[in-house]
């Protein structure tokens, strides 16, 4: 069996502490991620983050570190996802491959999310 099997890992509001449910820049989802993760080639350490969806351009998501003030913001391009989210509350979805996690989707509700566009 392939040892690099990709596993999807979902963390709900209990683990992540999401607090926002709409796509407004002034509303912030405050999350705590207990492991390092990648977003478009940038590896962010475990910690607390503010996740904002831009008011003027909802395709843009900004992730700011709040645990360590030396963390820089990461900006990611997204596309809408009208699938079936993992729950009723806002949730981040990660894909795990071996010992690395990659942020793949920001779910705002059960039926609407934003997929992170991967850079090649």
> Can you give the pTM of this predicted structure?
0.73
Per the domain annotation, does 32 fall within a domain? yes
Predicted confidence (pLDDT) per residue in 63-109, tens digit: 988 876 666 678 889 999 888 888 878 889 999 999 999 999 998 88
Structural domain includes residue 1: no
Burial (CB count <10 Å: 0-12, 13-18, 19+), residue 68: exposed
pLDDT at 113 over 60: yes
Report helix, strand or coil for 18. coil
State the residue range of the domain holding 22.
Answer: 6-116
Which residue, among 79, 26, 84, has the nearest Cα to 55 in the 3D structure? Answer: 26
Q: What are phi and psi of 9, to 5 degrees?
A: -120, 125
Structure confidence at residue 30 (pLDDT) = 87
Distance of CA 31 to the CA centre of its chain: 9
For residue 104, the Cα-to-chain-centroid distance in whole angstroms is 7
Determine the Cα–Cα distance for residues 77 and 43; give it in Å rounded to an integer: 16
Instruction: Quote the CA–CA distance of 51 and 63 in Å, as a whole number.
Output: 5
Does some domain include residue 87? yes
Q: Is the pLDDT of residue 25 over 70?
A: no
Number of structural domains (the chain) is 1
């Amino acid at each position: 069996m392939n040892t690099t099997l990709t596993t999807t890992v979902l963390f709900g509001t209990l683990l992540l502490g999401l607090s926002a449910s709409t796509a407004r820049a002034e509303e912030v989802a405050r999350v705590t991620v207990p492991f390092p993760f990648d977003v478009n080639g940038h590896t962010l350490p475990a910690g607390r983050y503010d996740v904002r969806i831009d008011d003027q351009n909802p395709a843009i998501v900004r992730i700011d570190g709040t645990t360590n003030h030396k963390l820089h913001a990461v900006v990611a391009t997204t596309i809408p996802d009208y699938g079936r989210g993992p729950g009723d509350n806002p949730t981040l979805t990660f894909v795990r491959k071996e010992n690395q996690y990659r942020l793949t989707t920001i779910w705002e509700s059960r039926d609407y999310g934003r997929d992170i566009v991967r850079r090649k």
